[in-house]
Amino acid sequence: MDDGGGGRTLDITVKGLPSISGYFEVRLMDRTHSKLVSLGVLGPDGRAALPVPQNIDLGGCSVVDVSMQRFNGSSDHSGDGLVHGPFSC
């Protein structure tokens, strides 16, 4: 997490991603996994620098989730979580 004066940004790199026909979405979630906040999409190289809105309580969102998503028009979590990790700043 970087707050270099221009706002908060989550810099993320995920290696070894499988080939899929969809895309990989990055979300923040709370400890109970009941609150999800979409931040954006990983690039084809598994990297992204995603803005984190100022109104997101980072104390309450302690998990970074990367899921495999299909191109089906739904913004809901697919249930295909690929990577979960602790969020720290």
Q: What is the pLDDT of residue 6?
A: 60
Q: Phi, psi at residue 43, to the nearest 5°? A: -75, 170
1 vs 23, residue with greater confidence: 23
Over the stretch 10-59, which tens digit does the pLDDT of each residue have?
Answer: 999 999 998 888 899 999 988 877 788 899 999 989 999 999 888 888 88
Q: What is the pLDDT of residue 50?
A: 93
Is pLDDT above 80 for 62?
no
Residues 6 or more apart in contact with residue 87 via CB below 8 angstroms: 1, 28, 58, 61, 62, 63, 64
